[in-house]
Structure 1
Amino acid sequence: MPIPAKWRRNAAGVTAVALAGYIAVAVTVQGGRIVEAVAGIGLPVLLAVLTLSLFNYGLRFWRWQLYLGWRNFEIPALRSLVVYLSGFALTVSPGKAGEAVRCLYLSDEGVPYKASVALLFVERLMDLFAIVVLSAFLLTIRADLAWAIACATALLLVALAVIVWKETPAFLVMLGTRLGGRVGGLLEWIAEMLGHSRRLLAWKRLAGILLLSVVAWGVEGYGVWLLASALGHDIGLGVSLGIYGLAILAGAAAIFLPAGLGGTEAAMTALLAAAGLPVAEAIAVTLVCRLATLWFAVMIGVGALATAELMFAPGRKLITLKSDGATYE
């Protein structure tokens, strides 16, 4: 499903303005010292951090392919990669809701919205679990943060229990039938979406997927350690992982902020400063980290979105179903 040209231009414009504003605000805080600190990081370290980001994207794409395979959708790897990366173009949307653009490219090719939305939902849930695990590393030096990590863990476990409980969809359908109207229809839609999600959250698969997710996000946390070390501050790998995880978690809590902009940066800068970095260097590490993770992904996503518009013309089939007799409606 090609995206209207006006919509694409608006999305690109919002992304460009957000990036320009982000850099402008960051640099004007302590301009000269931040530029000096960024220069001190050096090109080799920057390239290493970008490589780690690519590794993160690769692992998450592998997870995406596993999910599609478990639902018996066969998608040529290259096309699936383009669809997956296209979602990154709209990461700078509240709650990353714009990543649902992937569903548009799949809907006309046989993947129902409920199935593709369920895939995105489960992917985000596993990302949150991984981030909470990384945040726990910070407890080695900040035991006072245990309450925040415990609350996040409890909420995620409750959400997981609700999703995997086999009676949840039936309960929502019953409630929707009683309420009727738009609310009832929405509840029934959610019930069916959760039914699709349950198939992706089988207990025998959870451990492996969670490990993959932790490694994927952990390599970006390792990038924080590289950046701090390049400026002469060895804060420890575990602390770096915890700082990255808690900063991303803070951004995720600010769900109405595009990609957690502001919340993530403030938390990461404060935590780095608490770990011993001067404020200017803490801002520099945060700025480079976010440019090499968030904004690098956005740039890749913009290219993938343009490619998707060219590759997936109307009428061309993107997927096939495995020959197991399964149907999807």
Structure 2
Amino acid sequence: MSPAIAAFDCDGTLIKGDATRCCLLLLQGPLGLIRLLPRLLPHLVAWQFKRCSTGRMKEILLDVVLQATPREHRQRVLEEQLPIKLRSRLRPDALKRLQWHRQQGDRCMIITASPEPFIRPLAELLKIELIGTCCQDPLEVSPGQPFRLLSANCKGPEKLKRLELALGELPCPEKLEAYGDSSGDRELLQASGRPHYRSFSAEPRAYRQSRSWLQRLLPWLALALLGLGIQTWFGLPSTTKSQLIEACRRLLVWLPVIYALLILSYFGRYSRWRVLLRSVRVGHWNWADAVGWFQGFALTATPGKIGELSRVEQLHVELGYPRLPLTHAFIAERLCDGAAVLVWLSVITPAMVAQLLPQAGPTWWWVLILTGFILISLSLRRQRRVRSGWHTLKKAWDKHRPRGAMARACLPALFLSLLFWAMEAMILWLLVMVLSPTSITPLQGIGIYLLSGTAGLISNSPGGIGINEAATTLLLQDAGIDVLVALPIAILRRVLTIWTITAAAGLSQLIQGPFTQR
């Protein structure tokens, strides 16, 4: 009887992260890859719009990077540095499961979209068969001999074809146990009688689509907004266009300062993240951790912070961090955010908050008292439901609230939160200073920023879109700024902060797409 087949995907399954990405970073480093981005950008755009296949994009990407790297450094990376890096990224749970299959007498193999030369040292270390994307020797790449793939990109249906070619026939589902983590493993997992999608437990776990409807909708929404903006521009009077052009010139001078504040702010956010996780000894400061953390911001423009919660699963898959500490850190971040906002509002903007509330005359007091009685009556009528909801909330809080070392780490995390919230608010103040004839104080800028952000959060709309801008416009009007100036400032502030970060995080995923979308 032929042995059962245990087929493991490599990137994101056997190892944390992506082998090709590791190789590219070792070859050129982050700054080197950014330097090469202009040469890659047209191909990336074509790939994104399905004008270029993933295999061809991978071929172009690797050729550009390998051509830009001296042969001696390539050899050092491929023969020394990359094998060490990949060994350090092996998942303990995956190794345990691999050992279990060996004890059962199963035939174990890696089936990966990564180029075989990148994975071969790891396969030899694990004494496991390798099926990958065939390519020419990366050390032989030169100006006269570009890098070429010698087989189709080993992802999706191609994994089954290569498995059938290696075995002579495709094993029956009962004889195939497959492990994978992405859409590139879908066909392999679906052909298996015991699929393990992002899991190494004994129980099977079927593949499921992980991309949300919102992620599919966002690019089309961005294109629609761009088209609307262009149409509006051509419909403006010439005098208004001249004023806008002059304002844009002034803005361009200040853009480096604005983006410097934004970078400092998000460095503060990352520092807070590391302070919280370091308290429970999860992960450490490194490029992979920072990139994984930052890319999660591509998911934040979702209602009710669902996207941010999905970052927990993403970081668990990409970096191998335990889910529970990640969830605790997420809750601690939200608590620190809320506390920081309350501190700023209570300390520096009490007058602004008071102006937003109605004058508490006798009529208002009677309205408040009557409202209170109505709410109490409704609560008494629904006492059982309220009590059940309270117990559910309390149970969830008891399970996920920060404890011990992480609870103690919340104090420095709160200090960092106070700093970066103020930095981001300064961007609004700078925009008013540059674009408006009427000025506001920095403290007013912080107050308007925090109050409008709170309104957007309460609205539960994706990224607070619409509500945040409207609240900012109204508060700026209240500070004496004309609505025709306040509205562009409100929109610009959002474009230059959260939407810039969301776009940058999405672009980071796009750049990695040719080798992470296996």
What's the TM-score, normalizing by structure 2?
0.47
Match of residue 57, structure 1, among 263, 266, 275: 266
Q: Is the 8 A contact 1:61 1:84 kept in 2?
A: yes
Mapped to 2, the partners of 1:266 and 1:99 lie a distance apart of 24
- Which secondary structure state, in structure 1, belongs to the residue aligned with residue 349 of structure 2? helix
Greater helix proportion:
1
- Spell out, residue by residue over 1:32-55, the C-alpha distance to the aligned partner (whole angstroms, 9 max, x if none): 459944526420223322221111
Q: Residues 215-257 of structure 1, C-alpha deviation per residue, up to 9 Å, x if partnerless? A: 11111111111110112322111101100010101111112x1
Residues 224, 289 of structure 1: 8 Å contact kept: yes
Distance 1:75 1:313 in 2: 26
Equivalenced residues, count:
276
In structure 2, relative to structure 1, the CA distance for the partners of 1:192 and 1:142 (3 Å cut) is closer
Tell me what 1:240 maps to.
445
1:193 Cα deviation after fit:
2.3
Q: Which has the higher contact order (CA 8 A, sep 6+)?
A: 1
* Residue 458 (structure 2) pairs with residue 253 (structure 1): yes
Could you tell me which residue of structure 1 aligns to residue 159 of structure 2?
A: none
Consecutive unaligned residues of structure 2, counting only runs of 5 or more, are: 1-11, 13-180, 185-208, 359-387
**Deviation at 1:18?**
3.7
TM-score, with normalisation over the residues of structure 1?
Answer: 0.71
Residue of structure 2 aligned with 1:13, choices 216, 228, 251:
216
Percent identical residues:
25
Partner of 2:481: 277
**C-alpha distance in 1, partners of 2:510/2:399?**
32
Gaps of 5+ in 1: 148-174, 315-329
Aligned to 2:350: 139
Name the CA shift for 1:187/1:139 in 2 (closer, same or farther; >3 Å): closer
Deviations 1:115-140 (A, max 9, x none): 21221121122122222333343324
Whether 1:107 and 2:306 are equivalent positions in the alignment is no
3-state DSSP class of the match of 2:263? helix
Instruction: Find the residue that maps to 1:42 and give its secondary structure.
Output: helix
Amino acid at match of 1:301: A
Q: Give the 3 Å change call, closer, same or farther, for CA 34–130 of structure 1 in structure 2.
A: farther
Cα distance in structure 2, aligned partners of 1:310 and 1:66: 33
One-letter amino acid of the structure 1 residue matched with residue 255 of structure 2: L
Aligned to 2:337: 127
CA distance in 2, matches of 1:309, 1:23: 24
Give yes or no for contact 2:283–2:289 (8 Å, CA) kept in 1: no
* Structure 2 counterparts to residues 1-329 of structure 1, below 5 A: 1=12, 3-4=182-183, 7-8=210-211, 12-20=215-223, 32=236, 33=240, 36-37=243-244, 39=248, 41-108=250-317, 110-136=320-346, 137-145=348-356, 191-194=398-401, 197-199=402-404, 202=407, 204-231=408-435, 232-255=437-460, 257-306=461-510
SS in 2 for 1:259: helix
CA contact (8 A) 1:130 1:214 kept: yes
Q: In structure 1, what residue type is equivalent to 2:403?
A: R
C-alpha distance in 1 between matches for 2:229 and 2:481? 17
Deviates further, 78-87 or 101-110: 101-110
Q: 1:224 to 1:91 in 2, by over 3 A?
A: same
Say whether the 8 Å CA contact 2:476–2:486 is kept in structure 1: yes
The alignment's C-alpha RMSD in Å is 3.5
SS in 2 for 1:96: helix
Closer, same or farther: CA 249–62 of 1 in aligned 2, 3 Å: same
AA aligned opposite 1:239: Q
Alpha-carbon shift at residue 190 of structure 1 (Å): 5.8
